Structure 1
């Protein structure tokens, strides 16, 4: 059997990414699809009012909203993103997220 690099998702099937994580009140739910030295792909479901405090990461981070709405702060600038929109956060720049309402996202972090 060949080594698989992606986990927790069916191969050779149509999959709705937003359907792989469910909302839970007062919680952040995550499902890792890829985690290695160069790349991470993680699905998240944030309950309203939840968030990720300001931090920085060693790679560029791309957030793609699958559902809902989030307020994202990048280097002190706040933007609001909703379903179908993307925000990119550069490596080593402080950023954070807040759930304006329930939201789901795919987080892609690319490192050197």
Structure 2
């Protein structure tokens, strides 16, 4: 089975329906894939924990607060919503997104503002001959990290202490996983299991997000 995939393929849009699917990555931080059919909506609700929404395909509007502020989201963008903040969604043409409900104690990067949609790939810059890292949000059981690989750089084979998903944001890379090489391009994802031996080699410049669950 090829571990390269898109969220849209895992949870395809169905006409007139909203559908959710558990990622099965962890239990302390709830990570769910959602799809919304054209013309559908999800009523506003709030959580006692911080949430993050990552748009994977399509487009839609998030409605924030008691007097709703509308923010528009497109693929490759994200939105962080503070605890106890009402949030709903609506879409004209269909929307696929990943929702993360964090555990209560989190550290958030100072460059990220809540209640504002931001382009993930624009948060981090390339550094000559280097690999740049930026933690967007983290807690003792999860990390959401951005990485920018300059041309000719890569990570040597290693094992991670948790289940993880790589979200390719820009460019292309080769991911080595348990002795097999896989090509990944912007818009695609790659999942590897806890302690799976893997490497990342940039094919040109490459940006990615890493969701690592330490449970």
Shift of 1:34: 2.3
Q: What is the RMSD of the two structures over their aligned residues, measured on CA atoms?
A: 1.6
- Count of matched residue pairs: 111
Question: Which structure: larger Rg?
Answer: 2
Deviation digits for residues 42-99 of structure 1, max 9, x if unmatched?
0011001111110001101110011000100111111000000000111111101000
Asked whether the 8 Å contact 2:130–2:149 carries over to 1, the reply is yes
If asked which structure has higher relative contact order (CA below 8 Å, sep 6+), I would say 1
TM-score, normalising length: structure 2: 0.49
Alpha-carbon distance between aligned partners in 2 of 1:44 and 1:72, rounded to the nearest angstrom? 14
TM-score, normalising length: structure 1: 0.92
Q: Which sections of structure 2, spanning at least 5 residues, go unmatched?
A: 1-82, 84-103
Q: Which sections of structure 1, spanning at least 5 residues, go unmatched?
A: none
Paired residue secondary structure (2:108): coil
Question: Which stretches of structure 1, 4 residues or more, deviate above 2 A after TM superposition?
Answer: 2-6, 34-37
